[in-house]
Structure 1
């Protein structure tokens, strides 16, 4: 029995001019994987490819050790998916959608539906077109969870939600993960949400995985360095992962092993996930511009 809820091995695909190249990462059961990257980096394309909504060119995708390809009905019965746009007809009421969708899942639980609708303060007897964007997103989450999936894939689920609604979603995800057999792939631009709940972080850029590692390990590896102008040297500059000029000098990401924190004229702080994402993206852009 595998301990991997999702395992992606050397996955490649081509959509027009955009390609996913050599994608490798996995999600352990009972964990939350944060999935980050700038717009157009390939997050949604990858999600749709692993769900077989976009054909792969090569590679392997395993859900609990079972390949999606050739076992789609069995595998998808154990996955819950939420995209950034609601997939249900807006002219229908949630009660109608429940009746339409529930026969497709042997494990669909109407009690879970009722509980989540109440938890999110959603009226099941109002048409979805009367719902706000945030309410529609919450309804999408409700429908994704009603058949008790083992893996939940969320593509920007908190986009458009106010802070209170986002907190409600985050609390729900934390409740779900108390069952150590459930796992979550959480793609979002709101990296502060991942600071609160993610166990691992995977970053994609231009269709390639930049890193995939434990959140705490990642945050403990790097420092955000503020360097006074007179302190900066070519050696220091060459070691920084991305750099920008500020009013007082320079700012850049560095690894702790450089020990810049021990130098006069340098102040270092623990970076956020967003800091790492921004500076990693900066260095990738510069390498691309240089043709590296």
Structure 2
């Protein structure tokens, strides 16, 4: 287990992504995946109020509702539930009133009294940041939320959030959720990680497997239409991207591990990263996710993956 930022949340170093629940994983598959993850020691479940509103026939909140149903049925102990606000069709944006209403709706769907980790999902430039920060602070004060977090915020906006919190005596964010993986590195490493290091905030990266590309499954752009997620993965199947897969494959052979496990282990080895997020649409995929949490790469292996995935620094 690892501590999340300055919080007292002890979480498994691989967070189970709930974006597929109600999308590519139906109720039975979702229950099997959650059962397998927790049976393997996992305790950190990530979702959002907007999952999965993009699916025809869905209206948002399906993932939270399935997780809530599972929690009620299994009654597991020690589970950390993270969810997010701003993307549900009925609760868009981060106005104070909306943050409160969305949190109450999430609590009802999840069937819990307190959200362990509550993210501002996407920055809302239409709402004064002071209003958003105050709303999150009030949720903590009222016992609806234990810890505050941000997702998809720029480094400058994270600093601004922290400054407002410090001035107002509101608890600081304990986690940042950025898009970060072996084929998407530059902005996070150049700007977000320095902020996380300065304020002792943990990273909980999403798209940790680049929409499945870093599982090694998609090695050609011809896969684009083969599944709901394949289009997002196949765009990485360039010469440079496939070189990353080849190196992952080599290192996986040294550890008798999967490419998936190695890609997640590399991410976990990065500064301030506490727990990458990865999802599974089938229960058979869970074992590789769990294995990544205990796979320790050598310094040479991390360096080799750093080199093959080297990027162009952002312009100053």
Same fold, judged at TM 0.5 (above): no
Asked which structure has the greater CA Rg, the reply is 1
Q: Whose helix fraction is larger, Structure 1's or Structure 2's?
A: 2
- TM-score (ref. length: structure 2): 0.36
**Structure (1 or 2) with the greater strand fraction:** 1
When the two structures are superposed, what TM-score results if normalisation uses the length of structure 1? 0.38
